[in-house]
């Protein structure tokens, strides 16, 4: 499993929105400034979060993004998946493999995938906020 910039930025956006949720809609430029991230990269992640229904967006002068649900209702897994598409440690878990029936390593990687997903599903956005 390798979490790319897309996944990390999705998590950063969600954490920033949760931390500042009392402000209503928050512009990506504000988030980019606070997180010291490229606005361009955050725009791509925000689009994926919106498409996944994790955030609500509004256009206009006082527009921006806000959480669609309460922070404790989001798992880290679903946030990362919105940016990554998969968190599988090896490609064959997602796409299958012609050698799956005889692959001696597949059971190990399936178990690792389960451990990863169980861990990331057990952590909520609120849990991450409470760590700081």
pLDDT tens, position by position, 53-103 = 999 999 988 889 999 999 999 999 999 999 888 888 888 887 777 877 788
Q: Which domains does the chain have, with CATH numbers?
A: 5-131 (1.10.10.10)
Exposed / middle / buried, residue 76 (Cβ in 10 Å: 0-12, 13-18, 19+): buried
**106, 100 contact by CB (below 8 A):** yes
Confirm whether pTM is higher than 0.75: yes
Task: Centre a 10 Å sphere on the Cβ of residue 96 and count the other Cβ atoms it contains.
Answer: 9
Q: How big is the CA angle at 48 (ends 35 and 112), to the nearest 5 degrees?
A: 85
């Amino acid at each position: 499993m390798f979490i790319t910039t897309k996944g990390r930025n999705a998590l950063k956006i969600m954490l920033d929105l949760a931390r500042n949720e009392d402000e209503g809609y928050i512009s990506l430029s504000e988030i980019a400034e606070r997180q010291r991230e490229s606005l361009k990269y955050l725009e791509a992640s925000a689009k994926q979060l919106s498409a996944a229904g994790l955030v609500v967006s509004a256009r206009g002068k006082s527009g921006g993004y806000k959480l669609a649900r309460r922070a404790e209702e989001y798992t880290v897994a679903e946030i990362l998946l919105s940016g990554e598409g998969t968190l599988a440690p090896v490609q064959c878990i997602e796409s299958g493999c012609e050698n799956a029936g005889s692959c001696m390593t597949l059971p190990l990687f399936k178990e690792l995938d389960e451990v990863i997903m169980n861990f990331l599903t057990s952590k909520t956005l609120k849990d991450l906020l409470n760590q700081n």
